[in-house]
């Protein structure tokens, strides 16, 4: 049974999230979660991305892909984190977008999500960051990631 928007909001309002934050969410909830990506409150939009990332459903995956190009930083950061849960091909799509994000905070979490299952194009992009990223923390992360992937 799908949750109502107010039930979703309550459940997602955990201050320090834990497994219970996403307990029981499933395909029935995708339709109510997707509009939350554009909620006025950034924290809720980010939580919705994380919730969708835990639902194995094509519409949920599509929503995360869309989140990767949304204007709010916290939404794109959440999409970067959730890229790690997506099927490899979709993960590549999200990460290619976010590894080139203008915000260092987003690039950082995109680098963190890269894994050996990601394709050549993603790993090449990480190598580019390892070579030329201006933020030293992200550059270090990219170098480390290049070595391990």
Partner 1 sequence: MGISAALFSGSKCYFFDGARYIRVTRGDEGPGTVDAGYPKPIAQWGWPAGFGQQGIDAALYAGSKCFFFDGNRYIRVTRGETGTGTVDAGYPRPITTWAWPGGFGQSGIDAALYSSTKAYFFDGPLYLRVTRGGSEPWTVDDGYPRTIADVWGWPGRFGRFGIDAALFSGTKCYFFDGNRYIRVTRGDVGPGTVDPGYSKRIHDVWNWPEGFGVGERVVVFFKTLLPLSAGVQSLIDTQYREMRRLFLKFGIEVFFGAVEDLSGNADLEDFLALDVGPCLLGQPTAEHQVLFAQRTGAGPDDLVVYVVQTLEGDNDSLLGCATHPAGRPGAAIVPTPALWLTAHEIGHVLGLRHVCEFPSDTNPNPPTPCVVGSTQSDNVMFPRMTWTRPPPNISAAEAARMLASSLSKPT
What are the backbone angles phi and psi of residue 106, rounded to the nearest 5°? -75, -45
Rounded distance, CA 17 to CA 127, Å?
Answer: 33
Residue 29: HSE in the Cβ half-sphere, 13 Å Cα cutoff:
25
Stretch near partner 1 under the rule CB under 8 A, chosen from 27-35, 43-51, 57-65, 117-125: 43-51
50 binds partner 1 (CB under 8 A): yes
Helix (H, G, I), strand (E, B) or coil at 20: helix
Stretch near partner 1 under the rule CB under 8 A, chosen from 25-33, 71-79, 90-98, 122-130: 71-79
Q: Which residue has the tokens 């809720």?
A: 44
- Lay out the site mask for partner 1 across 105-144 (x = CB under 8 A, - = otherwise): xxxxx--x----------------------x-xx------
19 binds partner 1 (CB under 8 A): yes
What are the backbone angles phi and psi of residue 39, rounded to the nearest 5°? -60, 150
Shortest Å, Cβ 120 to partner 1: 26
């Amino acid at each position: 049974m799908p949750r109502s928007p107010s039930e979703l909001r309550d459940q997602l309002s955990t201050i320090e999230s834990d497994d219970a934050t996403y307990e029981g969410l499933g395909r029935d909830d995708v339709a109510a979660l997707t509009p939350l990506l554009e909620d006025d409150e950034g924290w809720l939009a980010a939580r919705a991305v994380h919730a969708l990332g835990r639902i194995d459903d094509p519409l949920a995956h599509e929503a995360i892909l869309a989140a990767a190009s949304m204007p709010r930083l916290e939404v794109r950061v959440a999409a970067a984190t959730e890229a790690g849960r997506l099927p490899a091909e979709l993960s590549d799509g999200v990460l290619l977008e976010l590894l080139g994000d203008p915000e260092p905070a987003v690039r950082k979490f995109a680098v963190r999500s890269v894994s050996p299952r990601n394709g050549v194009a993603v790993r090449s992009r990480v190598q580019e960051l390892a070579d030329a990223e201006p933020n030293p923390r992200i550059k270090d992360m990219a170098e480390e990631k290049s070595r391990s992937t």
